[in-house]
A = this chain, B = another copy of it.
């Protein structure tokens, strides 16, 4: 909330670029640099220095003339702004191939996403535990989420049921849905929807590859 009281809403393209800057300045820190200018970032990231300065103006940091931004401060401010330092509770629906893979990816936790439970309707996976995360019957979600209080729902179910499962997650109190299915679900206005279709990205890559043939 603090950010939004003092800053205007950051446009999504700018928001999407911030992790690039973070990733690069973390590399500089490893190389024992202490300061970085937007011009320096620009050279490496292929975004103009003025765009970078503008993007960073949404974050609570100011660079100094000649020396640039303090790297430690920039990292901590960016991680904070991006939400990576706060743990966000999540549940995952659909413990199939991709769902199980995401449960196994402990990297998500380093970026602030803690998946507390996986839900499925398939008795052969219910009762299992993947990377320490229990897989529970989807039927018990409404009851279970009163305790878990997960705000984020990761959606990795078969496309055919993605809308109905999304509705069910929202009924259980989920405020944001991370949709990995290729299905275009709709959600009420007060619910955050993030689509990440790996298969759509694959399609773009295959198509561009064919053009280069």
Contacts and interface: CB of A to CB of B under 8 A. Distances in A.
Interface string A104-142: 111110011100000000000000000000000000000
A156 to B, nearest CB: 9
A200 interface: yes
A209 B89 CA distance: 12
A91 to B, nearest CB: 14
Interface stretch (A32-40, A66-74, A180-188): A180-188
A206 B27 CA distance: 24
A143 interface: no
Contacts of A201: 178, 194, 196
A200 B190 CA distance: 21
A100 interface: yes
B213 A1 contact: yes
Interface of A: 1, 3-4, 9-10, 12, 15-16, 18-20, 22-24, 26-27, 30, 44-47, 81-84, 86, 88, 96-98, 100-102, 104-108, 111-113, 151-152, 159-160, 175-176, 178, 181-184, 186, 190, 192, 194, 196-213
How many copies of this chain does the complex contain? 2
A12 B192 contact: no
B205 A19 contact: no
Nearest first, the 4 closest Cβ-Cβ pairs linking A and B are A83-B206, A101-B101, A82-B203, A23-B182
A63 B203 CA distance: 23
A185 B166 CA distance: 35
A209 to B, nearest CB: 5
A190 B103 CA distance: 36
Contacts of A26: 159-160
A96 to B, nearest CB: 7
Contacts of A209: 83, 88, 151-152, 175-176, 192
Given A19-B182, A23-B159, A83-B209, 10 more contacts: A12-B204, A15-B204, A20-B184, A23-B184, A83-B206, A111-B203, A113-B202, A176-B209, A192-B208, A194-B205
